[in-house]
């Protein structure tokens, strides 16, 4: 019976790409996630089944949802938002940058570097006091280079270095849109959003390496240390992250049927883990809706059966009364009399 109900509900859906209207009526879809205030190993899923919203608790140790529907506002801890930094980079020319950080303007001449004015993007790392500018390499349609601009403790006297042929960032078309890339580098997370979100797609995120004392390294006379210790690396960590749980150094993301997280174990590039939980229609559906639907079907069946029985009894009674008069005698009996 349950499988038949799910199948019947799926037939009510309309195929309209990935728009919200295409979600299956009667089946659960994740519309939001919340942290549980007193338990870091549980997550509250905000679910909609096309009829109403409800919340259920998911165990992060087993990936299973609890049966009961709970309040979406009680015992909830807000995620830490991914910040929007007041940073802007303008390419004055292929060898000159204008940087604006918190309203302070800085012009930087790039004597031996190149930045493509039409194909660049950048992100800001407050912990390293640095701006990282991705750019299409000169005379190349596929290579992406990185210009690292570091500031001293006073936010002045910028120094820069160039790193060629950056890997794992995505293609030029994906990320080099001339805009500030969202980033988060507290709690050892060190993550940057790579590219714009396409239709039906979540934006991908990268983990980037942390370089301690970056400005001092660039200012030193040790060229070998500069070339080795200031090298940045990037690895993919998933997509669609929307907020952070500071208790566990964990970033969260979701879509209609999956929940994912990225968690850091330290500052080293390799010290992280990712996890994804996939949840089907049946797991997300409201059992109360299914229960009341079953009850409604049972009541309807009973009503139909009762109606048929009453109609049949009335038909028999009408047949007998049509052959008898007011004295209880049939037409043939009255003729004989």
Report whether 28 contacts 48 (CB < 8 A).
yes
Report whether 35 contacts 245 (CB < 8 A).
yes
- pLDDT category at 266 given cuts 50, 70, 90 is very high
- pLDDT category at 281 given cuts 50, 70, 90 is confident
Dist CA 26 CA 50 (whole Å): 6
Tokens matching residue 167: 């890997």
Q: pLDDT per residue over 45-101, tens digit each?
A: 999 887 889 999 999 999 899 988 999 999 999 999 999 999 999 999 999 999 999
252-258 long-range contacts (CB < 8 A, ≥24 apart) are 252/33, 252/35, 252/43, 252/79, 253/202, 254/30, 254/32, 254/33, 255/30, 255/202, 256/23, 256/29, 256/30, 256/31, 257/29, 257/30, 257/281, 257/284, 258/30
Q: What is the Cα 217 distance to its own chain's centre? A: 37
- 256 closest CA partner among 5, 12, 17: 17
State the residue for tokens 């968690």.
Answer: 263
Q: Where are the domains of the chain?
A: 81-254, 292-336
pLDDT of residue 9: 32
pLDDT over threshold 60, residue 2: no
Q: Are strands 120-125 and 130-136 parallel, antiparallel or unpaired?
A: antiparallel
pLDDT of residue 250: 97
Hey, which residues does 330 pair with through a beta bridge?
324
- pLDDT category at 308 given cuts 50, 70, 90 is confident
Dist CA 206 CA 234 (whole Å): 6
pLDDT of residue 112: 84
- b/e for 305-318, b at 16 or more Cβ within 10 A? eeeeeeeeeeeeee
Phi, psi angles (nearest 5°) of residue 181: -90, 135
- pLDDT category at 291 given cuts 50, 70, 90 is low
């Amino acid at each position: 019976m349950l499988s038949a109900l799910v199948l019947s509900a799926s037939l009510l859906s309309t195929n309209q790409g990935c728009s919200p209207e295409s979600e299956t009526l009667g089946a659960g879809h994740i519309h939001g996630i919340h942290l549980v205030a007193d338990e870091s190993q549980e997550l509250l899923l905000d679910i909609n089944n096309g009829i109403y919203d409800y919340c259920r608790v998911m165990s992060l140790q087993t990936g299973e949802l609890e049966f009961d529907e709970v309040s979406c506002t009680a015992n909830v801890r807000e995620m830490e938002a991914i910040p929007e930094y007041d940073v802007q980079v303008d390419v004055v020319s292929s060898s000159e940058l204008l940087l604006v950080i918190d309203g302070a303007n800085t012009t930087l001449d790039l004597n031996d570097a190149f930045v493509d004015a039409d194909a660049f993007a950048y992100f800001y790392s407050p912990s390293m006091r640095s701006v990282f500018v991705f750019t299409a390499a000169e005379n190349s349609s596929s290579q992406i280079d990185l210009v690292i601009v570091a500031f001293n403790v006073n936010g002045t006297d910028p120094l820069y270095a160039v790193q060629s042929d950056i890997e794992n960032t995505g293609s030029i078309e994906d990320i080099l849109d001339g805009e500030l890339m969202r980033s988060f580098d507290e709690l050892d997370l060190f993550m940057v959003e790579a590219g714009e979100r396409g239709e039906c797609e979540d934006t991908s995120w990268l983990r980037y390496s942390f370089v301690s004392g970056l400005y001092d390294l660039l200012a030193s006379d040790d060229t070998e240390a500069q070339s080795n210790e200031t090298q940045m690396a990037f690895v993919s960590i998933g997509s669609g992250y929307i907020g952070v749980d500071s208790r566990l150094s964990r970033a969260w993301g979701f879509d209609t049927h999956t929940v994912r997280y990225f968690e850091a174990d330290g500052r080293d590039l390799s010290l992280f883990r990712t996890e994804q939980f996939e949840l089907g229609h049946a797991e997300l559906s409201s059992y109360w809706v299914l229960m009341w639907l079953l009850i409604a079907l049972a009541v309807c069946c009973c009503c139909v059966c009762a109606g048929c029985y009453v109609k049949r009894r009335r038909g028999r009674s009408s047949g007998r009364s049509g052959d008898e008069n007011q004295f209880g005698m049939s037409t043939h009996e009255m003729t004989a009399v």
